[in-house]
Amino acid sequence: MSAAVRVGIAGLGTVGAGVLSLLQQHSGLIATRCGREVVPVAVSARDRARDRGVPLDGYRWFDSATDLAQDSEVDVVIELIGGEGGVAKAVVEAALEAGKPVVTANKALIAHHGTALASLAESHDAVLAFEAAVAGGIPALKTLREGLSGNAIDRLHGILNGTCNYILSTMRESGRDFDEVLAEAQALGYAEADPSFDVDGVDAAHKLAILTSLAFGCEVDFGAVYAEGIRNITASDIAYAEELGYRIKLLGIAERSDGGVEQRVHPCMVSTRSPLAQVEGVFNAVLFHGDFVDSIMIEGRGAGAGPTASAVVADLLDIARGNAVPAFGMPQARLKSLPTLPMAQHEGCYYIRLQVVDRPGVMADVTAILRDEAISLEAMLQRGRAPGEPVAVVLTTHETVEERMQRALERIAALEASLEPPRIIRIEPI
């Protein structure tokens, strides 16, 4: 059996403790599968005294994670500190500059600095692996990098944030509104005390930027991702969606065309017949479309100690076996800088929810605005009449351009009878 791989773990939060637990419990299985032992030898975290539910006896403790990364008795560095920059970035850079393989679950770091870090890894003949950065235990990146490597991928759709999927699923099942379900998600530990990173779409946007690079062979460009969250989704929107044959999901979508790449994260109405419509609770899923394989979907738990640790250790075993592949599926120098298609050019169908005064002529004004913007209506729903009182009106449109829709919404919002800003949800044909 080959010499053991000595592992240093920087960051002992939920995932770090999960990685240690997995490596301890499955040490024999791992050695059998890769022909050598994979042994944790060093750890680093801010608080030595904290009980992490896993024994730390026998591991060397480093107060400085950067010192751990540079230690000569550590062969592979696992970065689980988190954050776009700061200590996490310094640890990864220090390890790569020392020629050491790095495994990370840090989606923000890879979304913002992935291209530069891949270049640094290649220049020092080191490996940079980050399967756990996207969709937890689901092998989304391995699917693109390995299983679908013979396909040209033209689009992908992903439920990439379990917190948002839990909230939307629970709203549909219970009929309750966003704020109440969010509070429940926080109490259950599915949402952070400050949930903005999740519910405003930032987390999903990080993951989408990484997936896009793997799918299309382009540089990671987080700044090109349009991100919109779920705060404005109401229980009535979800009920109307069901009536129209849809379910609402926060999706990350990447599409490539001759004009460039479209990357967007926002709530979508998807047909109840779509496989993504059936993904509920805290689960994640990614639907890929390749030219030879057609469409395939992978689904599973997208977060938590166990699933994320599983993905971290999968990368670690690849390194132990000597299965070194470029971080983004090809040498960094071959990654293209593809033009970005702005959201204003997006074409699709729309759901529009209005809150207006119920009086003659209001809908004539609304439909005149839509006519002026060349937006064709498909259906209209209005429940009951309340002359002179507020009433909700729901419209769905045929395919149009986002820029036209936004102009129409501004004009509708300015109508005297309009009581609140119109809300839209894009209808995604999958």
Contact of 404 with 349, CB cutoff 8 Å: no
- Cα torsion 383, 365, 420, 242 to 10°: value is 40
Pairing of strands 153-159, 283-290: antiparallel
Closest by Cα among 3, 224, 199 to 111: 224
Catalytic residue chosen out of the listed positions 89, 100, 142, 207: 207
Helix axes 14-25, 305-321, angle to 10 degrees: 60
* 384 to 381, 387, 391: CA distances (angstroms): 10, 10, 8
Residue 249 is a catalytic residue: no
* Closest by CA position to 134, among listed 115, 160, 109: 160
Q: Where are the beta strands (DSSP E) in 71-179?
A: 76-79, 102-104, 128-129, 153-159
Distance of CA 382 to the CA centre of its chain: 35
Residue 347 host element (H or E): strand 347-357
| Rounded CA Rg of the chain | 24
DSSP 280-296: -TTEEEEEEEETTTEEE
3-class secondary structure, 378: strand
What is the DSSP-derived secondary structure letter of residue 267?
A: E
45, exposed or middle or buried, with CB in 10 Å at 0-12, 13-18, 19+?
Answer: buried
Dihedral sign (CA 7, 11, 15, 21): positive
Give catalytic residue positions: 207
